[in-house]
C-alpha cells in the first residue's frame, strides 16, 4: 500500500461515521497531512468528516481541527478528500474556496462529484488557483461507499436493493396465498433496520394483498434522517388499482406512492397517499428520482423481484437462506452477481450480491 492510499483509507474510514446522518448528501472524509517539502516524516494536521446533513462538510471540519500553530504548514500539506471538494453555495459555502483561502498545497480525491452542481468545477477552481489536484485514488472504494449517491446522479434512478428469504430447497413462498414464515426473528429485525436506512420500500400487489404489510420501521429504532421529509416512503405498483383500500399501506401513516397504469383512473390523492400514472418500472423509477429518492428496498414478492431482475434494474441483493424446506411453492428468483458478503443471522444465512464487486 502506498502512503497516499494509506491516508485515503483513513479518510474513507472517517467518512463512514456519517452513515445514517448525512443522507441525501454523500458520506465524505478528509485528512490533512503535512507531507510536502520540509517534513522528514508525514504528520496528520487535522481530520474531519461530514457529520450531519446541512452541517459543515468534511474539509471544513478537517481544517477546523488544525491547530493555529500548524496553519502555516498548510501550503506544504495535502488534503486527502474522498470526494471532489464542492464549488457551490448549498447549505454551506464552497469547500474549494476554503482550501484555496487556506493555501493548501495539494488535493487528492477518490472520485469526481457526480452532482451537476459541482461535477468537475471543484477541481477546476482548485487548479485555477494553482493547487495540484489528483483524482481517482481508491476510486472503487469511494464509489462503493456512496453507491446510492452515485447511482442516483449517474443513472437517474434510485439505488435498488432486492430482498427476499428462500428455503434451503429454493422456495420463496408456499402453495396457497397464506404467507409462510421462512427466515427467523433475527432476520426480521435486521430487515427493519434496513428499512430505516433506505429512502423507500416497495412491494408488489400480490404481497400487498396477501401479507398486508405496514412497511414501517417497528422492530428497530427509527433514526429519521434529517434530510428526508419523513422516512421511508412506501411504494406499490398497483397496475390496475385493484388493491383493497383498507390495507395498512393506505392508512396515511407514512408518505405512500401508488403507481398505476395511465389508462386507469385513480381515486384521487389523500394526505400521505399519492397516485402516480406510470407505464413501466423504468417510468416509476424516473418518478422516484424526481422525488429525490436515492434508494429503494424491494421486499417482494416473487413476480416483482423477477421483474426487477429481468429488467436488469437492481444493484444489490440481500438473500436470507433458511435451513427449512417446503418441497413445493413459489420458486425463488435466480441470482447472478458478485457474492460480496455471507454471514449467519440466527439460524439463517444472509447472502449479499452486488452488480459490482
Q: Which three cell numbers stand for residue 260?
A: 398505476
Closest distance of CB 57 from Zn ion, Å? 3
Contact letters for Zn ion, residues 73-102 (x by CB under 5 A): -------------x--------x-------
Selected from 50, 106, 125, 163, the binder of ligand AOF by CB under 6 A is 50
Which of 47, 59, 197, 316 is the catalytic position? 59
Is the alpha carbon torsion for 250, 255, 260, 263 positive or negative?
positive
C-alpha to C-alpha distance for 162 and 297, rounded to whole angstroms: 6
Q: Is residue 192 classed as helix, strand or coil in its secondary structure? A: helix
SS3 state of residue 258: strand
Name the residue whose CB lies closest to ligand AOF. 90
Q: What angle do CA 158, 163, 168 make, to 5 degrees?
A: 160
Nearer to ligand AOF, 95 or 249 (CB): 95
Nearer to ligand AOF, 103 or 239 (CB): 103
Residues contacting 241, CB < 8 A, separation 6+: 258, 260, 264, 266, 267, 275
Picked from Zn ion, ligand AOF, none, the partner binding residue 191 (CB below 5 to 8 A depending on kind) is none
Nearer to ligand AOF, 30 or 203 (CB): 30
The yes-or-no answer on residue 59 being catalytic is yes
Confirm or reject binding of residue 95 to ligand AOF (CB under 6 A).
yes
Do you know the residue count of the chain? 357
Among 34, 57, 125, 318, binds Zn ion (CB under 5 A): 57
CB-based contact 58:29 (threshold 8 Å): yes
- List the single partner that 187 binds among Zn ion, ligand AOF, none, CB under 5 to 8 Å by kind: none
* Strand partners of residue 133: 107
Provide the minimum distance between the beta carbon of 119 and ligand AOF in the complex, in angstroms, as a whole number.
8
Considering the rule CB under 5 A, would residue 11 count as an interface residue with Zn ion? no
What stretches of the chain adopt beta strand conformation (E)? 29-34, 43-49, 77-83, 106-111, 132-135, 159-166, 171-173, 200-204, 233-237, 256-260, 273-277, 295-298, 316-321, 330-331, 338-345, 348-354
113 makes contact, choosing from Zn ion, ligand AOF, none, with CB < 5 to 8 Å by partner type, with ligand AOF
What mask of x and - would describe binding to ligand AOF in positions 2 to 41, judged by CB under 6 A? -----------------------xx-x-------------
175: closest CA among 328, 313, 15, 16? 328
Contact code string over 115-134 relative to ligand AOF, x by CB under 6 A = x--x----------------
Catalytic residues: 59
Site for ligand AOF, rule CB under 6 A: 25-26, 28, 50, 57-59, 83, 85-86, 90-92, 95, 113, 115, 118
Site for Zn ion, rule CB under 5 A: 57, 86, 95
Amino acid at each position: 500500500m502506498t502512503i497516499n492510499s494509506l491516508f485515503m483509507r483513513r479518510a474513507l474510514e472517517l467518512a463512514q461515521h456519517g452513515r445514517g446522518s448525512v443522507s441525501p448528501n454523500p458520506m465524505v472524509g478528509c485528512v490533512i497531512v503535512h507531507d510536502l517539502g520540509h517534513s522528514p516524516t508525514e504528520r496528520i494536521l487535522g481530520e474531519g468528516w461530514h457529520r450531519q446533513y446541512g452541517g459543515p462538510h468534511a474539509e471544513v471540519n478537517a481544517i477546523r481541527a488544525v491547530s493555529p500553530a500548524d496553519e502555516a504548514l498548510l501550503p506544504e500539506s495535502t488534503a486527502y478528500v474522498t470526494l471532489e471538494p464542492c464549488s457551490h453555495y448549498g447549505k454551506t459555502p464552497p469547500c474549494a474556496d476554503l482550501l484555496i483561502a487556506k493555501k493548501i498545497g495539494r488535493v487528492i480525491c477518490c472520485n469526481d462529484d457526480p452532482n451537476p452542481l459541482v461535477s468537475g468545477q471543484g477541481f477546476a477552481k482548485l487548479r485555477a488557483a494553482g493547487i495540484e489536484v489528483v483524482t481517482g485514488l481508491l476510486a472503487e472504494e469511494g464509489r462503493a461507499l456512496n453507491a446510492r449517491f452515485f447511482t442516483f446522479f449517474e443513472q437517474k434512478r434510485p439505488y435498488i436493493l432486492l430482498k427476499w428469504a428462500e428455503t434451503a430447497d429454493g422456495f420463496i413462498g408456499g402453495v396457497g396465498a397464506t404467507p409462510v414464515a421462512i427466515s427467523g426473528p433475527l432476520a426480521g429485525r435486521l430487515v427493519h433496520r434496513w428499512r430505516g436506512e433506505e429512502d423507500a420500500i416497495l412491494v408488489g400487489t400480490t404481497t400487498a394483498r396477501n401479507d398486508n404489510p405496514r412497511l414501517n420501521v417497528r422492530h428497530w429504532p427509527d433514526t429519521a434522517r434529517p434530510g428526508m421529509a419523513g422516512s421511508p416512503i412506501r411504494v406499490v405498483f398497483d397496475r390496475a388499482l385493484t388493491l383493497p383500500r383498507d390495507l395498512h399501506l393506505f392508512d396515511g401513516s407514512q408518505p405512500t406512492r401508488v403507481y398505476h397504469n395511465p389508462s386507469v383512473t385513480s381515486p384521487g390523492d389523500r394526505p400521505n397517499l399519492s397516485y402516480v400514472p406510470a407505464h413501466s418500472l423504468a417510468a416509476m423509477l424516473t418518478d422516484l428520482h424526481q422525488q429525490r429518492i436515492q434508494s429503494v428496498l424491494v421486499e417482494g414478492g416473487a413476480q416483482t423481484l423477477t421483474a426487477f431482475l429481468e429488467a436488469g434494474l437492481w444493484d444489490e441483493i440481500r438473500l436470507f437462506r433458511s435451513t427449512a424446506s417446503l418441497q413445493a411453492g413459489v420458486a425463488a428468483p435466480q441470482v447472478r452477481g458478485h457474492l460480496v458478503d455471507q454471514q449467519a443471522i440466527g439460524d439463517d444465512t444472509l447472502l449479499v450480491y452486488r452488480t459490482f464487486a
